Amino acid sequence: MMSVDRYVGTSVTDVRSVNKVTGATSYGADVYLPGMLYAVMIRSEHAHALVTDIDISEALKVEGVVSIVTYKDFPELHYGTYVHDQTAFTSHPRYIGDPIGAVAAETQEAAEIAAGLVKIKYRILPHILDPEEAFTSLDVIIHPEMHTYKGYPSFFNFKKGTNIPNHLKVRKGNVEKGFAEADFVVESKISVPPIYHGTLETHACVCKYDPDGRLMVYSPTQGAFLLREMLSNAMGIPMHKVTVIQTAVGGGFGCKISGNIEIRAAALAKKCGNRPIRMVMSREEEWETVYTRSALTGYYKTGVNTDGKIVARKVTLFWDAGAYADYEVSVARSAGYMSAGPYDIPNIWIDSYAVYTNKLVATAYRGFGCSETTFCYEQDMDIIANKIGLDPVQFRLINALDKGSTNATGQKLKSCALKDCIQLASEKSEKNKKSTSPSVKRGQGIACMQKFTVHTVPTSDIVKLNEDGTIILESSAVDIGQGSDTIMSQILADVLDVSIDTISVVPVNTNYSSYGWQTAASSKTFFNGNSTMRAGLDLRRKILRSASRALCVPESDLYIKKGVVYSHSYPDKKLPFSAVALGVYNDEGGLSEGPLLGYGVYTVEDGTFLCPETGQGRKPSAFWMFAAMVADVEVDTETGAIKVLRLVSANDLGKAINPKMAEAQIVGGAIQGLGSALFEEVLIDGRGKVLNANMHDYKMPTIGDCPEEIAGYLVESQPDPEGPFGAKGVGEPAMACPAAAIANAVADALGVRIYSLPLSPEKVLNAIAEEEK
């Protein structure tokens, strides 16, 4: 395969690709165990209600039904990621689809029939769907017992007796004074609807509960260890009795970050003897009842001087968490503190609220609110530039953060190449205003973004040397398609100086793998890259020590080349890795050193929490990522249809470990962002029911909607001093700019602006008509 001196920085083919393209990869729904049963959820038909009675007698009579569980016979143990506000099954459903119970049967069909025969009596409660209404509501409280929930303090800053599970505050400088002194003050209200993750693979899992109280779960999860913790909490089983086995993941984008159907399936498995059960969401069921990206309404007020310098920005964000805020509190927090944009602003005031409503659950979606807030502040930036008569690119360059700048939370940036990104993206996007017909107008727009990662997460990896000198990496990073297995292989191959073909990466099994956080926050290259590197160095040290003993040459005289240890002083002395894998024998047959194993840990020792009152902290994010994108569009002023002609992105990622895969992330994110810009919206009616849970009525872009040119430029001018080989991340930033850049391009074409997504042709025509009035 590859034969290069260094793998880092080269476009190694994805190590998972052969099995993926030949169809051999085994995903969640591909797991079949002997004696397996099929499970179907019993879900609430009402957005807010109390279950007063449940009758399963008819359902139990269906041929093939083995077991039915409901909230009644399963203890209501709370679990969650950042807030423990959920139970496996509930008697207080808070959205249409909230799980009340589940059926296990010999066939899928029998389980479906039985689930339909369960009779549930409800006492209907008033429901709230609008987050701003829920924010002020004192009579409809969706989680009256919220103050009793467990949660992470810095993520669960709730207000007792309200529908607000988290309030993130940033207070920097004096924002009112800033407005008073500013030459202009501009205000806008911008909104973003819920959208659907739409991964190729729907949620799926297989669970088995043994008579001795051990639980085994196969899941395409983004975080096997978090899932184990949730299962342990929800089921009341200690962790040593819970095993989570990672299957291949057919796309995550955040929807598989947290335990969901696994918890319910495990609860059901407990009542099925030792027979495994399989629960797989149909496309429609997942769409209607599992997760969305949160809707957002953002209020922006910005003070700016005639020279283009932004002096103050006040931001109020309402995040629609839906019925449970498990992960949404984190979105409100994280998106909150990046919501003033990648600009050097002395006075900042941010209030970011997660708000419960009676809708399906909102969760992480490629960027934790990054795309949504970028859509808000980047439109705001163009409104201002337009008002003070500055070129949008120039206006951004005046205010852009730089290396050494101090951002909204008071963090000093050790790597920031935003200005390079802005310049590169605009240089590569020569303007062409010529349109094909008089009814078609062209426009160009730019957007910039910033993205935090986590401040620190415990990350560790294990590297094992096999008897033949080949290597197993037990990576705690979950490859959800972004290619972390390949990235880690490249890093490890370089650290050990071996051929990449001698490394296998094995998926997480919580019994054997060392601890790793989830695949989230574009963190894997940085965190697991570092811990893999350290595990590799640990193994390398041990190999050299063993070789030193075996060759009777001091360690300082040894070096490694392509899996063989050589001596500088004695060129004929050499040992392949295989010779030391199991240890070193002395002359009498005594064995020492082996078998060899490397262990590496990475944490950010100087990471900090945020002050709950001011949102200030020295290092709330291990690094920051930046990007700029220029979009060119054509708008048909008669139909309102938008055609995206070109998307040019420049991403500050520190260092591309694998340039082609980094570009693929950018192109994929651009298309996903284009979908959210032009088409995507989960429509929910007044009852709280999803109206367009199918591929016909909910549009995702096809290749036909993509521009001919999507360019992803990799900006490596500012390697991160702490990143592996200088690398940061790129996955989430890839999706952040397109909606904002396209919206700005549309406004440039038409001279009118649309303040909400998606930019539907109908909204375009309405905006044109409004302007002509």
The residue type of 645 is: L
The reply on whether position 704 binds other proteins by CB under 8 A is yes
Q: Which of 696, 708, 772, 773 binds other proteins (CB under 8 A)?
A: 696
Quick one: which H or E segment has residue 545?
Answer: helix 524-551
Tell me the three state secondary structure of residue 154: coil
**C-alpha span between 29 and 220 (Å, rounded):** 9
Integer-rounded Cα Rg, in Å, for the chain is 27
State in angstroms the smallest separation of the CB of 424 from other proteins: 30
Give the ranges where 98-174 is alpha helix by DSSP (H).
108-117, 131-136
Helices vs. strands in the chain: H and E counts, helices first: 18, 29
Q: Which residues are CB-neighbours of 491 under 8 A, at least 6 positions away?
A: 7, 8, 529, 532, 533, 536, 657, 724, 725
**In this chain, which stretch among 19-27, 263-271, 638-646, 727-735 interacts with other proteins, using CB under 8 A?**
638-646
Is 285 considered catalytic here? no
**C-alpha span between 376 and 740 (Å, rounded):** 8
CA-closest candidate to residue 38, choices 16, 65, 11:
65
Handedness of CA 621, 149, 355, 179 (dihedral sign): negative
The reply on whether position 762 binds other proteins by CB under 8 A is yes
Q: Which of 699, 752, 755, 768 binds other proteins (CB under 8 A)?
A: 699
The token pair at 522 is 């574009």
**In this chain, which stretch among 405-413, 459-467, 481-489, 694-702 interacts with other proteins, using CB under 8 A?**
694-702
Size of interface with other proteins, in residues (CB under 8 A): 24
Q: 107 or 509, CB closer to other proteins?
A: 107
- Please, which of residues 62-121 interact with other proteins by CB under 8 A? 107-109
State in angstroms the smallest separation of the CB of 350 from other proteins: 35
Catalytic residue among 732, 770, 771, 772: 732
**In this chain, which stretch among 238-246, 375-383, 444-452, 691-699 interacts with other proteins, using CB under 8 A?**
691-699
The reply on whether position 679 binds other proteins by CB under 8 A is yes
**In this chain, which stretch among 232-240, 479-487, 568-576, 699-707 interacts with other proteins, using CB under 8 A?**
699-707
Q: 176 or 638, CB closer to other proteins?
A: 638
346, 312 in Cβ contact below 8 A?
yes
Q: 160 or 696, CB closer to other proteins?
A: 696
**C-alpha span between 598 and 538 (Å, rounded):** 5
State in angstroms the smallest separation of the CB of 705 from other proteins: 5
Distance (Å) of CA 724 to CA 6, 505, 522, 607, 730: 14, 18, 14, 17, 14
The reply on whether position 639 binds other proteins by CB under 8 A is yes
Q: 129 or 418, CB closer to other proteins?
A: 129
Q: 537 or 641, CB closer to other proteins?
A: 641
Instruction: Tally Cβ neighbours within 10 Å of residue 549.
Output: 17
292, 258 in Cβ contact below 8 A?
no
457, 567 in Cβ contact below 8 A?
no
The reply on whether position 141 binds other proteins by CB under 8 A is no
Burial 190-214 (b: 16+ CB within 10 A, else e): bbbbbbbbbbebbbbbbbbbeeeee
**In this chain, which stretch among 66-74, 569-577, 616-624, 689-697 interacts with other proteins, using CB under 8 A?**
689-697
Return the residue matching tokens 């009644």.
72
The reply on whether position 27 binds other proteins by CB under 8 A is no
**C-alpha span between 188 and 200 (Å, rounded):** 36
**C-alpha span between 128 and 147 (Å, rounded):** 20
The reply on whether position 482 binds other proteins by CB under 8 A is no
Q: 72 or 699, CB closer to other proteins?
A: 699
State in angstroms the smallest separation of the CB of 691 from other proteins: 5
State in angstroms the smallest separation of the CB of 107 from other proteins: 5
State in angstroms the smallest separation of the CB of 223 from other proteins: 31
Phi, psi of 114 (to 5 degrees): -65, -40
CA-closest candidate to residue 190, choices 420, 453, 374, 457:
374
**C-alpha span between 273 and 40 (Å, rounded):** 17
SS3 letters for 458-475?
Answer: CEEEEEEECCCCCEEEEC
519, 528 in Cβ contact below 8 A?
no
The reply on whether position 3 binds other proteins by CB under 8 A is no
The reply on whether position 673 binds other proteins by CB under 8 A is no
**C-alpha span between 29 and 148 (Å, rounded):** 37
Q: 550 or 710, CB closer to other proteins?
A: 710
Q: Which of 701, 712, 723, 729 binds other proteins (CB under 8 A)?
A: 701
State in angstroms the smallest separation of the CB of 507 from other proteins: 28
Q: Which of 181, 638, 709, 771 binds other proteins (CB under 8 A)?
A: 638
Q: Which of 1, 434, 702, 708 binds other proteins (CB under 8 A)?
A: 702
Q: Which of 35, 691, 709, 721 binds other proteins (CB under 8 A)?
A: 691
Q: Which of 177, 705, 719, 752 binds other proteins (CB under 8 A)?
A: 705
**In this chain, which stretch among 48-56, 168-176, 443-451, 697-705 interacts with other proteins, using CB under 8 A?**
697-705
Q: Which of 139, 587, 697, 772 binds other proteins (CB under 8 A)?
A: 697
**C-alpha span between 683 and 689 (Å, rounded):** 8
The token pair at 45 is 């038909």
**C-alpha span between 355 and 128 (Å, rounded):** 11
Q: 509 or 639, CB closer to other proteins?
A: 639
**In this chain, which stretch among 359-367, 486-494, 561-569, 760-768 interacts with other proteins, using CB under 8 A?**
760-768
The reply on whether position 30 binds other proteins by CB under 8 A is no
Q: 145 or 762, CB closer to other proteins?
A: 762
The token pair at 378 is 């980047």
Q: 109 or 132, CB closer to other proteins?
A: 109
State in angstroms the smallest separation of the CB of 81 from other proteins: 32
The reply on whether position 683 binds other proteins by CB under 8 A is yes
Q: Which of 14, 29, 31, 38 binds other proteins (CB under 8 A)?
A: 38
Q: 191 or 637, CB closer to other proteins?
A: 637
**In this chain, which stretch among 311-319, 534-542, 601-609, 696-704 interacts with other proteins, using CB under 8 A?**
696-704
Q: Which of 174, 405, 578, 692 binds other proteins (CB under 8 A)?
A: 692
Q: Is residue 99 exposed (0-12), middle (13-18) or buried (19+ Cβ within 10 Å)?
A: buried
Quick one: which H or E segment has residue 261?
Answer: helix 261-269
**C-alpha span between 729 and 530 (Å, rounded):** 13
The reply on whether position 132 binds other proteins by CB under 8 A is no
315, 298 in Cβ contact below 8 A?
yes
Quick one: which H or E segment has residue 268?
Answer: helix 261-269
State in angstroms the smallest separation of the CB of 698 from other proteins: 8
The reply on whether position 703 binds other proteins by CB under 8 A is yes
303, 185 in Cβ contact below 8 A?
yes
Which residues contact other proteins by CB under 8 A?
38, 107-109, 638-641, 679, 683, 691-692, 696-697, 699, 701-705, 760-762, 765
Catalogue the active-site residues: 732
